Each structure stands twice: as C-alpha cells, then as structure tokens.
A and B are shown apart, each in its own frame.
Chain A
Amino acid sequence: MSIEIKNLKHIYMPRTPYERLALDDVNLTIPQGKITAIAGHTGSGKSTLIQHLNGLLEPAEGQVLVDGVSVIGKKPENKKARRSVGMVFQYPEHQLFEETVAKDIAFGPRNYGCSEEDIQQRVKAAMDFVKLDYDTYKDRSPFQLSGGQMRRVAIAGVVALETPYLVLDEPTAGLDPVGREELMNGIVKLHKKKNNTVIMVSHSMDDIARFADHVIIMAHGRVLLEGTPAQVFSREDFIHQAGLEVPRVTAIVKALKAEGVAVATDVYNMEDAVKAIWQALAKKKAGGAGKC
C-alpha cells in the first residue's frame, strides 16, 4: 500500500485574473516505508502538492489515494485515509497554542479520541523522539522555549498521532547545524523503528542526498525528475533547469574533474567524496597526467 497521486491538477483562484495553475497533471506513487524527498524552487508546486496528501486542498482534477482510498469525501473511510497522514507545516512552532508542552502535544491524540493513558504514553514517546526530556519540559510553557525547542514540540505534536505517513515541509529551515542534524537523525530513527513512510520537502540537496531513498524534483507544477538520489543528482542539467543545485560535494568533484583530475563524479556525500578524491589523487601521483 502507498500514496498514489493520479492526474492531479490544482488551480489557485480559478476564474479570477489571478488564476494560476499550481499543479498540472501530476502522477506519482510515494513508495511505502521509504523516505521520499520533494525538492523544487519556490512556486514549483511542492507545498501545494503535499497539502493534497491529507485533503487540505481539494484538487481541480485527479485524485490522491492513501492505501487505495481517496482522501476527499465524507465517508468514514475517507476520513480514516486523511487521518493516516500526519502533516508538519513549515515553521510549525507558529501553531503552538497550549499552556504547557505536554498539553500541546496531547491535543492531537485527544482529538482523535485516544484514552488518557494512551495519550500520556504517546506524549512521552513523542518527546523522547524529539529529544525533549519529559520531566523537564512537560509543564513548561511552549512559548518560553528557544526556536529550536519550539520546533521540536510542534513536530512531537504530529508524531504523537502515530500516523503511518508523516509529511514534513522543510522541517529544518531556520535551525542551527546541530539542531538540523539532531532533527534529521530523529526522523530517520523514528522511520526505522516504526517503518513509517516519510515525505519531506527540503531545500537542502545535501540532506536529500544523505537521507532520502527516493527523490521527486518539481518544476512549474509538474514532476520533472524522479528516482534515487544518485539517479536524480546525476542529471545536473535537469537539476539546474529546476532552479536547484547538486549536493555541494558533488559540485566540488565535478569542478575538480573539469580541471583535468580523473575523479569519479558519482558521489553525493562527504564520505564518498573523500574516498573519490583520495583515490584520484593517489592515482595522479602514480600516473601524473592532468592539465593543472
């Protein structure tokens, strides 16, 4: 089972002078149990796309099926389909509202009708996932935490829903390097433990190369490119066409190659880049050919 997007079309402000086609015949299957990253420049349709995944936006044409059931509709099964997709928006800390951290995180599960015992367990587990100590933070006001901590509380609120699908819109934007690293590692850890399906919008090609199993590149409301990070980032022409960049280490090895060093360019993370450059320069020592 998975999320299937079929012939999806979305028009903002239809029949007005501002009418804009935001999604144009998008067809996708989000693979089950994997981490899928969606990238594209501002206005490419990423956020519009993910808001269709739990029925927040209704398509002009086409449909979104979660485990075979449409997310649009009033029947219990449609509602269930919507509820199986947890959504973390950009800057989710703007949506905190409760008096205490624990109450804020408990709001979702309580609304879903979980028992008090279950709720408490979920809150604890979710806080553990985002690395906020339960006893230290449960009674604190979410508004007196740092930006990074507020972000984690907000994400915990969605994690506590324990949905099989977790959608995150730029979860690390605005976080410091350690905060980014911790959050990404937390998402991966949760993913491995629960085997949930993660869908993540990201502007960081470095993060995508490191963490994603599957990458979707959007441009002008359409899917421009889809595949593994290696497949996608090997098409630099398409990547640039989408207004994106290849991972920084990839750019470095390509620049090195352009200078005449015989280095492998199919590297997308730090470890592989170190290996490739080391091998190339060791070879160079022995062979000695190269124009620079």
Chain B
Amino acid sequence: MAFIECKNLSHVYNKGLENEYKALDGINLKIHKGEFVTILGTNGSGKSTLAKHFNALLQPTAGQCLVEGMDTGDEKNLWDIRGKVGMVFQNPDNQIIAAIVEDDVGFGPENIGMEPHEIRRWVTAALKAVNMEEFRHFAPHLLSGGQKQRIAIAGALAMNTECLVLDEPTAMLDPVGRQEVISTVQRLNQRQGITVINITHFMEEAALSDRVLVMKQGKLVQEGKPEEIFQNIEAMKKLGLDVPVATELAYRLQKKGLPITKAITNQEALIEALCQLK
C-alpha cells in the first residue's frame, strides 16, 4: 500500500459562488513510505492546495486522498492522519508560537496530552535530529531563518511524524539557511526513513530527491526521476520552470558540440563528465 494515495482528487474553492475556482483537477498519484518527492509548478498551479490535502487541512471536493489507507475526508481519521503527516510552511515566523524553543517544539505533544517526562524525551530527540539542541532555551525570534525552520521541523518530529510536507521551506532563507534546512531534511529522510514531500522553486533542491512531480493548472503533467524530468529543458521552460544550473550548462555545451552523454543534474556529475572529455 502506498503511504499517500490520491485518487482522482479535485478541489474547487468557493464552490457554487461567482468566484468558483478549480485548483486541483483529477490528481492521481502515489507516494511511498521513505520516499523523497519534490513537487514543482508555477505559482498558482495547485502545489500548496495539493499539499494541504496530505494532512487533511483540506478535503477533496471530488475524489479521494488516502494516508495509509485512511480517507482524509472522514472526520474520525483527522487526528491519526495529522499525527502521521506534519507540515512546515514557508514563513517561519507564522508557525512559531512559544517564547522559548523547547516550549514551541513541545506544543504539539502537550496538546495531545502526552506525559511531561515523555514530552521532554520527544523534544530532546527532535531537537537533536535537527541539530538544534544547544538552542533549547533560546527565544525563537533571536534565531536565523534557517534555525527557525529547523525548529518548525522539530515540532513535527516531536509528534512522531512519519512524513514531512514542506511548502517552500527555503523561499525566505539566505543561502546558508537554505543549505541547513535541506541537509536536515535529507538526513531525516536517509537516516530515519521519514517520507519527505518538498514543494520548491529551487531546481537544485529538486535534483536531490528520488522523484519529481510537475504540476500545471491543477493537473499533474509530469512525473519521474530528476534526471528524466530535467532532461527536457525546453519542456521545463515552457512550463514556466527551470532546470539546475549544471543541467543547463551541460545542455549548452552539448549544443556547442561537447559530447556529454550522461544526464547531468548536479555540479559533481558535470565536473566528472567534463573531466572525461580529454
């Protein structure tokens, strides 16, 4: 069984009103346990709407979204689903609520009535997992953007989440913060088997994932490994998207006549390919 499955999922905002708008249109997809999946698409393509279905913040207006077989449309499943799938949003300042880091991370567990010593154990483990232990007693507003996002991730981990859905978690961060967040997410995926669904506009981040889903106007239009998706540069640009810089550079050199045969999605692969061209 897939961890998350969407069957013919559609979502219409303001149904029946003048400004009715179909944000998702017949989405079929499966996300497996332990996968690292990236969702790409232009602004307004339905990425965030889709993501909000994964932990039942939104319910389909047609079709189904299942999390480990549980229907997100069925109210009695809500808490179980949200216990399994945690979300991190773009703006760290909108999702931190406590005055001290450990209180913020412990907010979720406390809310579900966990025993205090248990909370402490989960908070410690979560902070450790995102490399933020030493900031336990800090005030969140004094942290950098990358640190705040890691606190938000820790908040989800403290709820024993099995899946992280990240909606442009690095859009507001500087290069260092971006790197911190992405390596944290990668490590959680590889070492702890956390399923990761990352929405991003950074193609370099997409290149790190196992699978890329591409959305356009509420529909899923492409799906594949990063090297397959980024192979067709023209198609990506037509979709209003881009490819990693290394991919574009390889493509342009290829067009000029350099025999680069391998699919390139990152700097290391490009350097290796270029070094072989003696």
Contacts and interface: CB of A to CB of B under 8 A. Distances in A.
A251 B274 contact: no
A18 B249 CA distance: 47
A181 to B, nearest CB: 9
Interface residues of B, number: 41
A203 B249 contact: no
B223 to A, nearest CB: 19
Which of A180, A260, A292 is the most central at the interface, judged by chain B CB atoms within 10 Å of its CB? Answer: A292
Interface string A237-272: 000000111001101100110011100000000100
A90 B274 CA distance: 40
Interface stretch (A77-85, A120-128, A169-177, A189-197): A169-177
Contacts of A42: 144-146, 173-174, 177
A236 to B, nearest CB: 13
Interface in A222-243: 243
A169 to B, nearest CB: 11
B19 A178 contact: no
A203 B145 CA distance: 13
A255 B271 contact: yes
Contacts of B258: 277-278, 281
Contact of A179 (B43, B177, B203, B252): B43
Counting contact residues on chain A (CB < 8 A from B), the size range is: 35 or more
B246 interface: yes
Interface string A190-226: 0000000000000101100000000000000000000
Interface in A33-55: 40-43
Interface stretch (B75-83, B103-111, B155-163, B237-245): B237-245
B266 to A, nearest CB: 10
Nearest to B249: A273
A252 B176 contact: no
B246 to A, nearest CB: 6
A148 interface: yes
A288 B146 CA distance: 45
Given A178-B240, A178-B241, A249-B249, A277 B274 contact: yes
A174 B253 contact: no
A185 B205 CA distance: 24
A212 to B, nearest CB: 16
A251 B245 CA distance: 11
Given A177-B241, A255-B271, A243 B174 contact: yes
A176 B43 contact: yes
Interface in B28-52: 41-44
B208 interface: no
A206 B249 contact: no
B271 A270 contact: no
Contacts of A149: 43-44
Contact of A284 (B171, B172, B242, B278): B278
Nearest to A151: B43
A285 B44 CA distance: 48
Contacts of A173: 171-172
B173 A281 contact: no
Contacts of B42: 148, 176, 178-179
Q: Taking each of A43, A174, A177, A178, which has the highest tally of chain B beta carbons within 10 Å of its own beta carbon?
A: A177
A285 B245 CA distance: 25
A174 B168 contact: yes
B210 interface: no
Nearest to A176: B42
Nearest to A271: B252
A41 B144 CA distance: 9
Contact of B171 (A40, A174, A252): A174
A147 interface: yes
Contact of A277 (B43, B248, B249): B249
A111 interface: no
B252 A270 contact: yes
A290 interface: yes
A146 B90 CA distance: 16
A91 B172 CA distance: 9
A196 B253 CA distance: 37
A177 B242 contact: yes
B275 A261 contact: yes
A179 B204 CA distance: 18
Contact of A248 (B43, B146, B168, B245): B245
A175 B91 CA distance: 14
Nearest to B141: A18
Nearest to A18: B142
A16 interface: no
A146 B13 CA distance: 13
The 7 A-B residue pairs with the shortest CB-CB distance in the complex, in nearest-first order: A146-B44, A178-B240, A292-B275, A177-B242, A148-B43, A248-B245, A176-B42
Interface of A: 18, 40-43, 90-91, 144, 146-149, 170, 173-180, 203, 205-206, 243-245, 248-249, 251-252, 255-256, 259-261, 270, 273-274, 277-278, 281, 284-285, 288, 290, 292
Interface of B: 19, 41-44, 90-91, 142, 144-146, 168, 171-177, 201, 203-204, 240-242, 245-246, 248-249, 252-253, 256, 258, 267, 270-271, 274-278
6 contacts: A147-B44, A148-B43, A176-B41, A243-B176, A274-B253, A281-B274
